[in-house]
Amino acid sequence: MTCSVVKELMPNYIDGLTSDETSEDIKKHLASCESCCAVYEYLRSTHPSDAAEKKKDMEFVKDLKAGVQKRKRRSILAVFAILIIGILFTRRYSVPIPFDANRMFIETVPSAFTVNDEYGWVDLTNIDGLDFQESKSVLSGKLDMMNLVWLSYRGIHNAGSWSKGRTISRNGEKVRGIYYRYTKTLWDLMLPSDLFAQSESASNYGEIYGDSAAFNGGVHEPEQREIYYLQVRNLDALDELSDKEYDALRQKAALIWSGVN
């Protein structure tokens, strides 16, 4: 490195603006060149405060840039975390679906009391699911029949269902009140899935009949039943209510079906 180049780079060298490689070359030159070394000492002594101030400013700028980059990375991570949490929340959190008479309905399914050959249990079987021998027994009157009430829906995609049933005493008479509802996650509500869905389903009848049908050896005692659609998210909370409070909920619900069955 020549003296002219060193002298030209000297101000930047003093301010700490030269690269590490250039600074090392200048340092070596200054160690062997008295003329350039004298110029260096003169420049450094005449503007000591300016050089220190510029170096301080440069360090401040570097720290500022590093802080901006750090905050930028934190912001990106925060947005990513919020996005993931939001997706998980919308896919898990469910809300009740308003009652729709065109897609939610009650149907009665002719069923027979059959005996499970393997375990000896008494089951209620849809007559469409009977085998040949069971069908003959139904026709000959050897198997008891009943019209089983089902909670059904059609054309609703990815719906969750839940029901609660309880037999209470109202004005001295036993009444089995059933509340049910369908839910969808926020994710499914945002998607128009029902427009192309051809789904059809029916819910379990356990809460409608409790232990009064097949679970008592096939002896079924008909009783008054009332089925309501109750648009609440947590039906399990009904277990904490008294019979009077439970029965009073029918005033806030929609009566879907009632009868002796």
- pLDDT for residue 217: 57
Residues 113 and 205 in one domain: yes
pTM score over 0.85: no
Angle at 89 between CA 84 and CA 93, to 5 degrees: 165
Residues 117 and 212 in one domain: yes
pLDDT at 123 over 80: no
C-beta separation of 14 from 27 below 8 A: no
User: Does residue 198 form part of some domain?
Assistant: yes
Residues 41 and 110 in one domain: no
The mean of the pLDDT values for the chain is 81
Residues 102 and 183 in one domain: yes
188 vs 122, more confident = 188
Domain endpoint, select from 31, 46, 61: 46
User: Does residue 52 form part of some domain?
Assistant: no
pLDDT at 244 over 90: yes
User: Does residue 170 form part of some domain?
Assistant: yes
Residues 145 and 213 in one domain: yes
Query: Domain span at residue 35?
Result: 1-46
Residues 100 and 9 in one domain: no
- pLDDT for residue 47: 60
CB atoms within 10 A of CB 131: 10
> Given pLDDT bands bounded at 50, 70 and 90, which one contains residue 256?
very high
Residues 28 and 152 in one domain: no
Residues 39 and 160 in one domain: no
pLDDT at 204 over 70: no
Tell me the mean pLDDT in the region 88-113: 87
Q: Which two tokens stand for residue 69?
A: 């980059």
Tell me the mean pLDDT in the region 198-226: 69
Tell me the mean pLDDT in the region 100-115: 83
Residues 26 and 115 in one domain: no
The whole-angstrom distance between residue 45's C-alpha and the CA centroid of its chain comes to 69
Q: Output the DSSP codes for 14-73.
A: HTT-S-HHHHHHHHHHHHH-HHHHHHHHHHHHHSHHHHHHHHHHHHHHHHHHHHHHHHHH
C-beta separation of 104 from 229 below 8 A: yes
- pLDDT for residue 229: 96
Percent of the chain with pLDDT over 90: 25
Range among 70-79, 187-196, 202-211 rated most confident: 70-79
User: Does residue 61 form part of some domain?
Assistant: no
User: Does residue 250 form part of some domain?
Assistant: yes
Q: What is the pLDDT of residues 167-200, one digit of tens each?
A: 999 999 999 999 999 999 888 888 766 655 556 6
If one counts the domains in the chain, the total is 2
Residues 107 and 226 in one domain: yes
Residues 124 and 217 in one domain: yes
User: Does residue 73 form part of some domain?
Assistant: no
Q: Give the residue among 158, 149, 164, 224 at the shortest CA–CA distance from 186.
A: 158
Residues 111 and 13 in one domain: no
User: Does residue 228 form part of some domain?
Assistant: yes
User: Does residue 57 form part of some domain?
Assistant: no
- pLDDT for residue 205: 67
